[in-house]
Chains A and B, each alone.
Chain A
């Protein structure tokens, strides 16, 4: 009978907790509604930014994802930075720089008196340490961007405390743009690198406007203002990055006052957001979402077949319904704001009747597509949905489409295997240089160049573009490349995704850069 008492006591305890729970839930809940901000004293000097996924880490050399970049841009500075409204580079930790006439050595003059968050000095030695860890012999296999950003670097020389000289193996016009990137290029405190065994993913130390405080896994990252910042100090004291995977859930969080700013939403929720009294920020995106034909085998080794299929797809209509006006239909590989883009570039235009005739003539009846199932930054609707939409267009011109879709990891393997007629992909611009987009079509690796496109004329233009210094002459080379690519129709560019952000009305100066980053230094909260 003793035992029975115990069980009864347990049941009672259960009951008590249960009642408390439900009891607490309700009255407290009602007061969150009208004044979520008033109950918390610190809320006015804290910005809460809700993003769609947890950053991978906060060591610029070890990560590759946009979510990490959004946090890192607030912790670190690089030698250079992008202009607020374009991808032109501006001074940052480097006050000024000179390039030798042969394009092989770059001398940077550094800001003086800058300190890292851990109190150590920023100087030429720090720059050397940061570049050296990402070039041979120190570079490791998991440094995602080292070879991209510093691939052309031969060595780094410390000239004096505030001057550093970088020597290249071959002239590379995109090199300066690389130094403004948030991947790989930001300068990390050498002391922190030593302390954290060359991996500051969890303990980042930079020179930026915010200092890292704490990271609760899968919940949030908390930053606090760097009051010793060498540049213009941040307006708001605390910044919290929250991770909410589901798009609709982020909208609920914004309208509920659980977040001040959210990103990565799609057009279907715009009305919900504005109805809630919140504001929308629409940023152009440095990306391209495309469909690629497998040019290495029949039927699409024939440009005529490629053009016929492209002709059957009404890209503007497709983009409008799929992305609800928040992606621009793509006429070119390059986003329109980039150097090298020109209005004269155009793809095969929609003509269902002509397409049907051409497809019949080519004897094309079946097409095998592969697609990815997860949303990507350049395609919020997922590759699978895009493929299904295109399936509808092709069925109208008598082509039966079979789609195999895979999660991203498996998809990459299928791309490598090459067993497809049509595949879907996209590209997120790294450094704002046109080469960064166009080189995909000349790449030898089939996981980069998924159309398996080979054209000697095109490849020569790529080589020429790399050596030519920035300017009109260089831009013309890229316009030329676009035209060659459009004539061959190896890709059907679908869209350039815009970044759609939303913020609460009391947030001032919110801004999202086209490279996918959100410097919060100038953002205030009323």
Chain B
């Protein structure tokens, strides 16, 4: 939803892109400013922590070792709905699975879907946006009309329809969520390219006969990279929320995988006898999204020359 706003503020982005300097110094300066932003550092810290959990769960899973207190997917009907206690910190669910282990395990899925979906929308969006912006004319018109079509359907409805058609699964959730946010990136990239295209060094490169793809890769993209980093960071938070929403509606991952939104959707039926099943996954989602928002905001401030002057 927030993406609707940002995708429409091409004007601001063009402005921002005009301040773009040399790529290396730009990223470096961003980092310097970021370090002074307490909120962003907290966000970054939480993200590192989540990534660490996700990686260790994933790697230990690959090695066949169990580092979680319990097997997150093992159901045991004799243990259903145990309230949080010393043995089960977050309690157990209807099928007697340890919620603490499931929430930690869920980190893996949420982060993976978030990052993978953004990679899809980012790469496709950047590609389409660059072509549209650089080529202009008819190509531009066609690509951007298709983007407009996708933007005209609320992204959550589009994602639901994709999932209903494709079926449940992590891979499918990645595709559905990735597809629906392509237009956003395409529009940002196109707008930025329009603004740097006329710069002297791009014109110079054209004169010396560089190929189009080389000009885009070597001269244009590096100049908008920080902008893309900001969008991608905020994009991950949206993707995590979308994943949770799909899971909540019963359209997320295949069982028995732990996914936070799916856990919330199931917990909804037990708000009286087991409210804790509703609380912890909600906190996990909010914390993850919050972390990416903090970092994304910090990055944006770091990028925004006006706030740098302050």
Contact = CB atoms under 8 A, between A and B. Distances in A.
A314 to B, nearest CB: 8
A395 to B, nearest CB: 7
Interface residues of A, number: 34
A403 B255 contact: yes
B75 A388 contact: yes
B274 A317 contact: no
Interface in B255-279: 255-256, 266, 268-274
A317 B96 CA distance: 13
Given A373-B250, A404-B254, A407-B251, A321 B77 contact: yes
A448 interface: no
Contacts of A392: 74-77, 95-96
Contact of B269 (A268, A322, A406): A268
A168 interface: no
B263 to A, nearest CB: 12
Contacts of A373: 168, 250
B250 A388 contact: no
Interface string A401-416: 0011111001000000
Most buried by B among A251, A381, A384: A384
Given A268-B270, A271-B272, A392-B76, A405 B95 contact: no
B167 to A, nearest CB: 6
Interface in A351-374: 371, 373-374
B269 A266 contact: yes
Interface in B207-255: 250-251, 254-255
A387 interface: yes
Nearest to A405: B255
A407 B251 CA distance: 8
Contacts of A320: 77
B77 A384 contact: no
Interface string A191-220: 000000000000000000000000000000
A321 B78 contact: yes
A385 interface: yes
A410 B273 contact: no
Given A381-B94, A405-B255, A248 B269 contact: yes
Contact of B168 (A389, A391, A405): A405
Q: Return the 8 tightest CB-CB contacts between A and B, nearest first.
A: A392-B75, A272-B272, A321-B77, A268-B273, A321-B80, A248-B271, A373-B250, A388-B256
- Range, interface on chain B: 20 to 34
Nearest to A268: B273
Contacts of A251: 272
Nearest to B163: A407
A27 B242 CA distance: 37
A388 B78 contact: no
A269 interface: yes
Nearest to B75: A392
A85 interface: no
Given A381-B94, A385-B95, A392-B74, A403 B254 contact: yes
A318 B256 CA distance: 17
Nearest to B270: A268
B164 interface: yes
A384 B272 contact: no
Contacts of A388: 75, 95, 255-256
A445 interface: no
A248 B94 CA distance: 15
B75 A405 contact: no
Interface in A231-249: 246-248
Contact of B268 (A248, A266, A271, A371): A248
Contacts of A322: 77, 80, 94
B75 A389 contact: yes
A250 B168 CA distance: 28
Contacts of A374: 250
Given A392-B76, A405-B168, A406-B168, A387 B255 contact: yes
Contact of B164 (A271, A317, A407): A407
Interface in B113-167: 164, 167
Contacts of A384: 255
Interface string B157-199: 0000000100110000000000000000000000000000000
Interface in B79-106: 80-81, 94-96
A281 B272 CA distance: 19
Interface in A253-284: 266, 268-269, 271-272
Contacts of B167: 404, 406, 410
Contacts of A269: 272-273
Contacts of B250: 373-374, 407
Contact of B78 (A246, A266, A317, A387): A317
A404 B78 CA distance: 24
29 contacts: A246-B269, A247-B269, A248-B268, A248-B271, A268-B269, A269-B272, A271-B273, A272-B272, A317-B77, A317-B78, A320-B77, A322-B77, A373-B250, A385-B94, A385-B95, A385-B266, A388-B255, A389-B77, A389-B95, A392-B95, A393-B77, A403-B254, A403-B255, A403-B256, A404-B167, A404-B168, A406-B167, A407-B250, A410-B164
Contacts of A247: 269
Interface string A315-338: 001101110000000000000000
B92 to A, nearest CB: 11
Contacts of B94: 321-322, 381, 385
Given A384-B255, A387-B255, A404-B254, A268 B268 contact: no
